[in-house]
């Protein structure tokens, strides 16, 4: 008897290994690309080849064409090209199962395989078949893709569902026996459901209809009723033309959800989103998809990637781009390579084919350079860019007269101030926690705050509330005046460095060079409050250090020439992300304004060549929705 639990464990371990090795795949790979046999073989250190023919072999007195071979002596898996791509893919996964589970099979030949229900089969073959089905169609990913198409699982398969699938012979479908798998086959090969159109599950996973039908049956993703037992609930979403959520719906971003729901034309929008890979971003993306938008690609912002959230975004079926591991300095892949330009060309082409309007959501002005420099980008096909950060706002404002694409900035919105307040608090809390773990206190220290923008102001106030003497330096005299009027000491950078035990920076750029740092007190601790790693030149600090020591998991001490010591927090990355950043009920305001901005650039003639903002009346509308939600929660 096949030990399914043991095989599921082996498959799960292999999936985890492939996820760790994902950097080997192209940056815009889909979730199913991780299951490609060529990629799997390379990770396992096995040669994989596809050949025109593998000849024939005899089994139980019958001659079969050879579909696949495992040759342990040569560390090779071979698959014949004589069969369909689906059969070849299933055969390859079957052979990988033999390789992992059956070490005594030194030279093994297999006949064509395309579904996990063929017979007769030996126990060894049954194990490899079950491995292939489980590996190629992971339960969690398949369940989410199933729910994206059909609204729920298990799906109650009644007459309404059959009609939504376009079944031609309703009575035959509804009277078919359960063991016929007729209804599972309809679901496996379906390319539409009511008003929704999509690629079939069988095509997405690269397997045959019968293989997918068998997997749907095993996972019990559908249950069946007779015509008399019809359950109308299964088709509610069809009339709305929406896909159902892949994760449990929640009210963490209720204002955002309300703004998206009110946009009746969202199904004509294709989004490219460059954002922090955090849970709230995943919720925003899922809500946008639920209300009809196509998310063409998610670009993960370096230094703020939560692996669990990124995995969930991948599970939504969204193509993901990440900066390659070890990229130094961070962001250089996005800023110096052609990756984002190539992505925009690809996404514009897809938007044109779908006849959808393309909107870019940017967090840092990263699309600015390709939009200006790439002549092969059809800027007229882009409805607009939504910029979220002050750093990005500055980038676009420096070249706004040259912009041929409308750009809406939410960076300086009054609604963003609530987020800034919580970021400041998170930075101070994270610094306090890290110092306490190392045996120090935050209170009583002297802190230098470099940068007195929206975030820097909040960090300075949060430090003052913790009884930290805070000195402010900003290149802008106006910001220095504001800090003085807020009650903070203001000094020249050189003078402030001599006094500071702690240095906080939130400038969006390189706040402190190595030469300037040399004027600071030995033992100074560096905390970044900006989402870019370059607030401090950690790379040069590490390169010049005579030695370094891990004081705690988050604090690393570097000894530089002349025995100057400095302590870097969180490897130079923003420390507020260690405290989960900003509460979702606050970030709800930001994403709601992004949602409203998307609608604005799509439904209004927003002028290019000048940085724009969302009209104040729309911000007031968002604020009113948010306050209403807060009052309803209170009751």
CATH of the domain at 320: 3.40.50.1480
* Predicted confidence band of residue 531 (pLDDT cuts 50, 70, 90): low
Is residue 113 a contact partner of residue 70, using CB atoms and an 8 Å limit? no
Domain boundary among the residues 214, 240, 266 is at 240
User: Exposed, middle or buried, 525 (CB in 10 Å: 0-12/13-18/19+)?
Assistant: buried
Number of domains composing the chain: 4
58-101 pLDDT, tens digit per residue, is 777 777 788 889 999 999 999 998 888 888 999 999 999 999 99
User: Across residues 564-575, what is the average pLDDT?
Assistant: 90
User: Across residues 240-248, what is the average pLDDT?
Assistant: 42
End-to-end CA distance of the chain: 57
Q: Is residue 376 part of a domain?
A: yes
* Predicted confidence band of residue 632 (pLDDT cuts 50, 70, 90): low
Note the pLDDT of residue 425: 84
Same domain, 343 and 376: yes
Same domain, 373 and 263: yes
* Predicted confidence band of residue 121 (pLDDT cuts 50, 70, 90): low
Residue 235, pLDDT > 80, answer no
In angstroms, the CA 401 to CA 125 distance is 67
Note the pLDDT of residue 212: 93
Say which range, 196-205, 322-331, 460-469, 571-580, has the weakest mean pLDDT.
571-580
Note the pLDDT of residue 303: 76
Note the pLDDT of residue 250: 52
Same domain, 605 and 618: yes
Using the Cα atoms of residue 85, residue 87, residue 88 and residue 90 in order, give the sign of their dihedral. positive
> Residue 62: which CATH number?
1.10.10
Same domain, 521 and 598: no
In angstroms, the CA 315 to CA 277 distance is 13
CA distance to 52, 98, 126, 480, 488, per residue, from 64 (Å): 16, 19, 18, 82, 84
Q: Is residue 394 part of a domain?
A: yes
* Predicted confidence band of residue 119 (pLDDT cuts 50, 70, 90): very low
Note the pLDDT of residue 239: 28
* 3-state DSSP assignment of residue 307: helix
In angstroms, the CA 272 to CA 362 distance is 8
CA distance to 150, 203, 443, per residue, from 245 (Å): 10, 21, 46
Note the pLDDT of residue 234: 30
Using the Cα atoms of residue 242, residue 247, residue 249 and residue 253 in order, give the sign of their dihedral. negative
Same domain, 289 and 388: yes
Q: Is residue 249 part of a domain?
A: no
Is residue 585 a contact partner of residue 573, using CB atoms and an 8 Å limit? no
Say which range, 314-323, 349-358, 401-410, 470-479, has the weakest mean pLDDT.
314-323
Note the pLDDT of residue 228: 33
Same domain, 108 and 10: yes
Per the structure block, which two tokens stand in for 473? Answer: 């330096």
User: Across residues 21-47, what is the average pLDDT?
Assistant: 86
Domain boundary among the residues 117, 136, 155 is at 136
Same domain, 259 and 288: yes
In angstroms, the CA 505 to CA 457 distance is 11
Per the structure block, which two tokens stand in for 139? Answer: 């339960």
Identify the DSSP state of 220.
Answer: T
Residue 532, pLDDT > 80, answer no
Q: Is residue 211 part of a domain?
A: yes
Residue 248, pLDDT > 70, answer no
In angstroms, the CA 451 to CA 499 distance is 17
* Predicted confidence band of residue 231 (pLDDT cuts 50, 70, 90): very low
In angstroms, the CA 239 to CA 232 distance is 11
Per the structure block, which two tokens stand in for 80? Answer: 């014949």
Same domain, 236 and 319: no
Please name every residue paired with 387 in a beta bridge, in sequence order, or none if there are none. 362, 409
Domain of 603 in residue numbering reads as 254-412+582-634
Same domain, 397 and 272: yes
Same domain, 488 and 625: no
Same domain, 560 and 620: no
Q: Is residue 248 part of a domain?
A: no
- Write phi, then psi, for 200 (nearest 5 degrees): -65, 155
Is residue 184 a contact partner of residue 217, using CB atoms and an 8 Å limit? yes
Residues 6+ apart with CB under 8 A from 390: 411, 412, 453, 454, 455, 508
User: Across residues 530-557, what is the average pLDDT?
Assistant: 86
Is residue 266 a contact partner of residue 288, using CB atoms and an 8 Å limit? yes
Per the structure block, which two tokens stand in for 539? Answer: 């790379």
Q: Is residue 246 part of a domain?
A: no
Q: Is residue 245 part of a domain?
A: no
Note the pLDDT of residue 227: 39
> Residue 488: which CATH number?
3.40.50.720
Note the pLDDT of residue 57: 80
Is residue 81 a contact partner of residue 51, using CB atoms and an 8 Å limit? yes
Domain boundary among the residues 91, 106, 136 is at 136
Q: Is residue 507 part of a domain?
A: yes
Per the structure block, which two tokens stand in for 401? Answer: 């007269």
* Predicted confidence band of residue 633 (pLDDT cuts 50, 70, 90): low
* Predicted confidence band of residue 312 (pLDDT cuts 50, 70, 90): confident
* 3-state DSSP assignment of residue 234: helix
Same domain, 227 and 185: yes
Note the pLDDT of residue 313: 87
- Smallest CA-to-CA distance from 253 within 578, 595, 531, 576 is with 595
Is residue 524 a contact partner of residue 407, using CB atoms and an 8 Å limit? no
């Amino acid at each position: 008897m096949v030990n399914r639990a043991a095989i599921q464990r082996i498959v799960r371990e292999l999936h985890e290994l492939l996820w760790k090795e994902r950097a080997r795949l192209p940056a815009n790979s889909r979730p199913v690309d991780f299951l490609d046999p060529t990629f799997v073989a390379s990770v396992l250190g096995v040669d994989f080849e596809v050949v025109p023919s593998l000849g024939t072999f005899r089994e139980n007195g019958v001659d079969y064409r050879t579909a696949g071979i495992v040759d342990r002596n040569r560390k090779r898996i071979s698959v014949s090209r004589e069969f369909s791509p689906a059969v070849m893919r299933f055969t390859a996964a079957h052979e990988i199962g033999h390789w992992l589970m059956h070490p005594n099979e030194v030279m093994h030949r297999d006949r064509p395989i395309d579904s996990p229900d063929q017979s007769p089969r030996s126990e060894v073959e049954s194990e490899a078949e079950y491995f292939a089905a489980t590996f190629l169609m992971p339960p969690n990913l398949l369940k989410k893709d199933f729910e994206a198409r059909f609204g729920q699982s298990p799906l109650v398969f009644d007459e309404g569902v059959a009609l939504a699938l376009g079944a031609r012979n309703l009575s035959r479908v509804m009277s078919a026996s359960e063991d016929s798998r007729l209804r599972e086959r309809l679901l496996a090969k379906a390319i539409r459901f009511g008003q929704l159109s999509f690629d079939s599950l069988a095509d997405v996973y690269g397997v045959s209809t019968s293989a997918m039908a068998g997997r749907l049956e095993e996972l019990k993703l559908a249950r069946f009723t007779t015509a008399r037992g019809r359950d109308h609930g299964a088709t509610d979403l069809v009339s709305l033309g929406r896909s159902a959520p892949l994760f449990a719906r929640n009210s963490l971003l209720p204002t955002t959800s309300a703004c998206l729901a009110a946009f009746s034309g969202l199904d004509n929008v294709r989004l490219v989103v460059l954002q922090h890979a955090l849970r709230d971003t995943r919720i925003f993306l899922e809500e946008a998809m639920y209300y009809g938008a196509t998310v063409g690609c998610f670009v993960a912002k370096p230094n703020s990637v939560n692996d669990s959230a990124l995995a969930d975004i991948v599970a939504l079926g969204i193509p993901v781009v990440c900066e390659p591991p070890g990229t130094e300095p961070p962001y250089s892949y996005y800023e110096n390579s052609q990756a984002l330009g190539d992505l925009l060309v690809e996404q514009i082409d897809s938007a044109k084919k779908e006849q959808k309007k393309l909107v870019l959501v940017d967090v840092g002005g990263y699309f600015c350079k390709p939009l200006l420099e790439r002549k092969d980008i059809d800027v007229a096909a882009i409805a607009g860019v939504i910029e979220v950060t002050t750093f990005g706002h500055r980038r676009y404002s420096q070249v706004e007269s040259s912009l041929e694409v409308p750009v809406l900035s939410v960076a300086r919105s009054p609604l963003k101030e609530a987020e800034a307040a919580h970021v400041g608090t998170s930075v101070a809390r994270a610094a306090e926690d890290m110092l306490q773990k190392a045996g120090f206190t935050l209170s009583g220290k002297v802190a230098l705050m470099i940068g007195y923008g929206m975030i820097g102001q909040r960090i300075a106030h949060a430090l003052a509330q913790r009884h930290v003497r805070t000195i402010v330096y900003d290149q802008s005299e106006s910001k220095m005046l504001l800090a003085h009027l807020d009650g903070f000491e203001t000094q020249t950078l050189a003078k402030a460095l001599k006094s500071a035990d702690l240095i906080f920076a939130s400038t969006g750029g390189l706040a402190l060079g190595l030469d300037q740092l040399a004027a600071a007190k030995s033992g100074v601790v560096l905390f970044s409050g900006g989402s870019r790693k370059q607030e401090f030149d950690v790379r040069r600090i590490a390169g010049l250090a005579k030695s370094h020591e891990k004081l705690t998991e988050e604090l690393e001490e570097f000894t530089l020439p002349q025995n100057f010591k400095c302590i870097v927090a969180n490897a130079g990355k923003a420390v507020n992300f260690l405290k989960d950043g900003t509460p979702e009920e606050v970030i709800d305001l930001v994403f709601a304004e992004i949602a409203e901005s998307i609608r604005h650039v799509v439904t209004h003639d927003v002028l290019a060549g000048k940085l724009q903002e969302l009209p104040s009346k729309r911000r007031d509308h968002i604020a009113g929705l948010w306050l209403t939600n807060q009052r309803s929660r209170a009751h």
